[in-house]
Structure 1
Amino acid sequence: MAKTMEEYFNDAFQEDIFNRKMAAVNLMKIINENNSSLTIALNSEWGTGKTTFIKKWINALNEQKEEYISIYLNAWESDHFNNPILAIMYAMEDFLVKVNNIHSNDITTAVIEVAKGLVNLATKGVVNIDKIKASLDKKDIKELYNEMKTISEIKKDLEKQLLNIKGNKKVIFFVDELDRAKPNFVVDLIEVLKHFFEVEGYYFILATDRSQLNSIVKKRYGEDISSNGYLRKMIDLDYNLKKPSLDKYFDSKFSYIEREYVKLKNIIDNLKKLTIINNYSLRYVDKLEIYISIIAPRLNKNLSRENHTKYLLDVVFSILIFIRAKDTVDYNNLINSKDKVYEVLLKYKMIDFEIEFSENGSPLDFNETIIKIFSIICDKSSLKTNLEKKIIINNISQGYYNFFRDGKLKYIDELEFLNGFDV
């Protein structure tokens, strides 16, 4: 028995921690009920999993090649082309041949013909209002009529080429990362793609942060333009993708590290709290996971037994790697600039970071303790000398002394190891 569409999506969305499968299924129902064309803006903030959602959707479509052709264009990765026509050509040929297994000798030729049509439309440009007025004033509209007729013929030829490419299938054209690409490229790309938008059987999914896209349009055409009005001319439907659970995503990314490196549990718990407090993106969690996976074996080997010193070390290291993964300038200020310690900790909402710890049974104030530790870290030369002489720095307690003696700033050394990676 043949699979239903929903069954194909069940397979593609097996690891659906954000419960987004039904969003893709329902959007496909809208597409299947529409026999002309449709452009849907998939709206969600940067770093909230739009790309993952789209790729799962494409995987489901690729199992239904008898009915659908999927094309994927990453605007951010393609903005080096400068000319969006080249980006469209590349995406179309790549997916038609490699992904959709359309091994026709005519594909490359057809794509080139589409590109020619787009170039002709681009060079003709939008009909010039001043030219219309001038022609009407002169009562000589023959030239203008011929030019408009030429544009109409080019559009018909372009539509013919696009219909030949798709055959009897529906083409789902995904345009991703519009909120990350160069602003001028984004607008130029949309202006070119609009010639596809009304071609029967072509359906566009534009993945973007709508607020960012509005800003890009205003930057191009000026603050006076209604960006919503401009985009409404081309976008038929806006769909707001359900906001993901940062809590669940973090757990899914770090569960294997917690299983393999038990001694890192406190650090991972602290990183999770900090990530949620600061409401960072899923992309940031990905970066954090890469950092921890690189240094986890080294840390797990060097971490000491459970005691006050280790607990304090875990808290300090959590703060270090959390800020290191976000901003190297802030990280360097934290470990090198005594006068900027409080400013950096405040920026990353450490004052909201509720951790209770004590020394010899007496509770320690978190903010005061952490600020004092990082202030001491900044004075590395004095720290080294005093440790060698076993002098209690700045008359702080024995517990602090043990922290620096046992830690020997090894966590900072471990983080320096990350400098060799382009993450």
Structure 2
Amino acid sequence: MNVATKFIKDREEEITVPFQGDLWGRQQLSEKLTNFISNLKCGATIALDAEWGAGKTWFVKNWKADLVLKKYKVIYIDAFLHDFMEDPFLILSMEILNAVKADQTIADNFKKTMVSTYHAILPNIPMLLWSLTMTLMGTGHLSKTVEQTLQDIHENTGGFGEKAGELLEGKLREHLTELVEDYNNSKNQLGYFRAQLEKLVADLDEPLVFIVDELDRCKPEFSIKLIERIKHFFDIPNIVFVLSTNKSQLEESINSFYGFKSANSYLEKFIDLNIKFPKRETGSYIEVIREYVKKYGLRLNNKDILILSETFNLNSRDLTRILQKMALMNNFYHAISPVMAFIYLAMEQKSMNPSRMSEKEFLDTFMNLLVTYVKGLPSSNHSNFDFANLAKFADEFGSFQSGRDDSGFTYLLKYYYLEYTDDQIDARTLDMKQSLKEKLKASGYYNETNFVKSWDNYVSSGFIVN
């Protein structure tokens, strides 16, 4: 990993004004969600689905702050910080109890029911039985009948085995007897708990909003158990759960852990509504770029960075981290330098491993991404471009972009055309190509013949300025 990646760290900041600095237009989603929840007459579990780095945590924390101002009861938990626990039932119960100011008698009754329910759902096989069961698993006896297993223990371990077998048999019979006797109580425990929970939140003017963040980062068994607990125990009127997660990543981890052919259908049993995190609003990139250019005093051509951001389809975290890193590198000696730096860092952010690429692989990768981006523009902007020939496309698109002051992007397109075209080039143009090649290199690495290697060296050096 490059040393440079250690410079960037997300910081927790207290939210005093919800959605202040909302450069990605997320407040509109919060308003829609709030209106939807306020009209719910029943409980619900909502999945807020977005890729890693799209700003889910920033959104749900700002939405929570906004809901609090509107007098909602709101709970936020980072599920990843709790997945060391055996069962999430207690976390969910205690957070709700602490958030709701209910009558003391109702609260006390809920506590009692919560404790007994928690005891009922946890594994309660005696510790000796559990230890011996683990031992038997290791010796291959687990698949046999209990009677055969007890006989094997006696035969294989002599007197000690006989005593252990008697104790195991007694404990097992005792445990099974308790299960039979407590069957009706256990069956009704869910009903008791939900009834007390309904009483606890009955007097709320607006639904209690319970936000569960970072679910996709948890151990799969904890994630599944958490959403199962929500559906089986907490799915009542006046409580709305919002699961902030990368759903595809969660499904993949569940599928990998349990060997499901498709985790998607499994998750759908527990989620009432899926909401895809909205795509960025038109123009939101330029607002972020302007903000960071101003904040860090960056010497960048905003329109160049805008095109590059759209070409790489960066999410909010990708773009801000790249710009933060560029602030550390802010000693660009030519207009093309920040363009090359941005492309290198964007490839790195997208795990494309630019350091392993040759010069041609580096430029071809970018040009193919650019072609995909341009094809997605209104047809009037690219109807005459030769997409099949990257060199001609670079020349055509560069001419289309020409006229912008201090644009390093057009320099790059010009170099690509001159380096890889089949057209005849005169001596004067060849000199121009060589001059452009030198400008593609990172500052301080002019003696390096490979411009990709020069950027790799520069970034790996920790942005040390000469």
TM range (shorter): 0.5 to 0.7
Give runs of aligned pairs for residues 7-406 of structure 1, distance below 5 A.
12-13=18-19, 15-65=21-71, 68-81=72-85, 83-85=87-89, 88=92, 96=98, 114=114, 117-123=117-123, 146-159=181-194, 162-163=197-198, 166=201, 168-169=203-204, 170-224=207-261, 227-228=264-265, 230-245=266-281, 248-259=283-294, 264-266=299-301, 269-293=303-327, 295=328, 299=330, 302-304=331-333, 310-327=334-351, 330-334=353-357, 340-349=358-367, 352=370, 356=398, 365-367=414-416, 399=435, 403=439
CA distance in 2, matches of 1:207, 1:172: 13
After superposition, the CA RMSD in angstroms is: 4.7
CA distance in 2, matches of 1:405, 1:24: 45
CA distance in 2, matches of 1:406, 1:15: 33
Q: Which runs of 5+ in 1 are unaligned?
A: 1-10, 126-141, 305-309, 335-339, 372-393
Contact 2:213 2:243 (C-alpha < 8 Å) held by counterparts = yes
* Higher Cα Rg, which structure: 2
1:85–1:290 CA distance, 2 compared to 1 (3 A):
farther
Q: Give the Å deviation of 1:26.
A: 3.7
CA distance in 2, matches of 1:251, 1:363: 21
CA distance in 1, matches of 2:335, 2:94: 53
Deviation by residue 1:289-334 (Cα, 9 ceiling, x = unmatched): 32123x15xx2xx444xxxxx134333333333334444x824324
Q: Give the Å deviation of 1:22.
A: 4.6
Which residue number in structure 2 is paired with residue 136 of structure 1?
A: none
Q: Give the Å deviation of 1:279.
A: 1.6
CA distance in 1, matches of 2:32, 2:57: 18
Corresponding pairs, count: 346
Q: Give the Å deviation of 1:110.
A: 6.6
Corresponding residue SS for 2:240: strand
Q: Give the Å deviation of 1:200.
A: 3.2
Deviation by residue 1:395-423 (Cα, 9 ceiling, x = unmatched): 99662586489943288465345489xxx
Overall identity of the aligned pairs, in %: 23
Corresponding residue SS for 1:265: coil
Kindly provide the amino acid, as one letter, of the partner of residue 333 in structure 1.
R
The TM-score normalised by the length of structure 2 is 0.58
CA distance in 1, matches of 2:442, 2:41: 70
Q: Give the Å deviation of 1:72.
A: 1.2
Q: Give the Å deviation of 1:69.
A: 1.6
Q: Return the structure number with greater relative CO, CA threshold 8 A, min gap 6.
A: 2
CA distance in 2, matches of 1:223, 1:341: 43
Contact 2:322 2:346 (C-alpha < 8 Å) held by counterparts = yes
CA distance in 2, matches of 1:263, 1:113: 59
CA distance in 2, matches of 1:363, 1:348: 11
CA distance in 2, matches of 1:406, 1:21: 39
1:107–1:71 CA distance, 2 compared to 1 (3 A):
farther
CA distance in 2, matches of 1:175, 1:144: 34
Corresponding residue SS for 1:320: helix
1:73–1:369 CA distance, 2 compared to 1 (3 A):
farther
CA distance in 1, matches of 2:326, 2:109: 48
Q: Give the Å deviation of 1:71.
A: 0.9
Deviation by residue 1:207-262 (Cα, 9 ceiling, x = unmatched): 2344444434433444446732x3333222233342223x6343233213323666
Contact 1:43 1:239 (C-alpha < 8 Å) held by counterparts = yes
Q: Give the Å deviation of 1:73.
A: 2.0
The TM-score normalised by the length of structure 1 is 0.63
